[in-house]
Structure 1
Amino acid sequence: MHYSLLLHHPEQDATTLGEDAIRSGQAAFSAYARALQDAGVLVSAEVLQHSTATTTLRKVDGELVIQDGPFADTKEQLGGSIVVDVEDLDAAIEWARQAPPIDWGVVEIRPGATYTVNGAWTPNG
């Protein structure tokens, strides 16, 4: 079963974080990615650019509105995602609890689904 681990964390720039925190975070993510890969559960991983690089689209009164930046005004932003292929939610929780952002943000788990030819969404698995 595919689960997406959505990594939310407070956004800070390199100046605010400092070089030591950046090095430590990069090392933690590298070790985590290596553990996922060594276990054979890593499907994909993607780090997202800062939310200021976001373009948000929505319709207001039937008209398309394009906005620079994130739609939600929140302190935590989606920073990346990791897709794992594991047996069940318990296994996904075990991997999510090891994700580095758990120490400074939130890790959300969502099961994946596939849109099929007959128009139904079915769980990936």
Structure 2
Amino acid sequence: MNYLLMLFADEKAGMAIPPDQMAGFMNQMAAYQATLEKAGAFVGTAALQTTDTARTITTQGGELKVHDGPYADTREQFGGYFIIAAPDMAAAIALAAQCPAATWGHIEIRPYHPQFGPD
């Protein structure tokens, strides 16, 4: 089964990190991806641009409404993701626990829907 690991962190704090220190964090994330690949669990990953580039849409009464920014106004923002393959939630949690992003933010783990996911 595939699981989405949603990585949340405070993007303002992230933007304040010096480039050399950020490069070290990105190296940790690359090593995590290599660990997933070696375990046969890596499906995909991407980093997202900052929330000021986001748009949230809804349709009300047939009219499209477009709002700047993310839907939720929170201290932490959705900044990227991994898609992993794991036999069950316990295995997905064990793999997510190895992600360096868990040390500077939160990771939400969600299984793909059995009827609508790619599994």
1:102 is matched by which residue type in structure 2?
Answer: A
Distance in 1 separating the partners of 2:15 and 2:101: 19
Q: Which residue of 2 aligns with 1:48?
A: 48
Structure 1 stretch displaced more, 61-70 or 44-53: 61-70
| Superposed displacement of residue 12, structure 1 | 2.6
Structure 2: gaps (5+ residues): none
Question: What is the SS of the residue equivalent to 1:12?
Answer: helix
Q: Which residue of 2 aligns with 1:84?
A: 84
Question: What is the SS of the residue equivalent to 1:27?
Answer: helix
1:12 is matched by which residue type in structure 2?
Answer: K
Distance in 2 separating the partners of 1:124 and 1:12: 34
In structure 2, the CA distance between the partners of 1:69 and 1:122, relative to structure 1 (3 Å rule), is: closer
- 1:1-125 aligned at under 5 Å gives the runs 1-12=1-12, 16-60=16-60, 62-114=62-114, 121=115, 125=119
Distance in 2 separating the partners of 1:59 and 1:80: 26
Question: What is the SS of the residue equivalent to 1:108?
Answer: strand
Distance in 2 separating the partners of 1:14 and 1:106: 14
How many residues in Structure 1 have an aligned counterpart in Structure 2? 119
Distance in 2 separating the partners of 1:14 and 1:80: 13
Q: Relative to total residues, which structure has the larger strand share, 1 or 2?
A: 1
Per-residue CA distance 1:66-88 (angstroms, 9 max, x = gap) = 01211211111111111111111
Distance in 1 separating the partners of 2:30 and 2:116: 32
2:12 is matched by which residue type in structure 1?
Answer: Q
Output the TM-score relative to the length of structure 2: 0.88
Q: What is the aligned-residue identity percentage?
A: 34
| Superposed displacement of residue 51, structure 1 | 1.1
Distance in 2 separating the partners of 1:123 and 1:55: 24
After TM superposition, where is structure 1 displaced by more than 4 Å over at least 4 residues in a row? 122-125
Root mean square deviation, CA, Å: 2.0
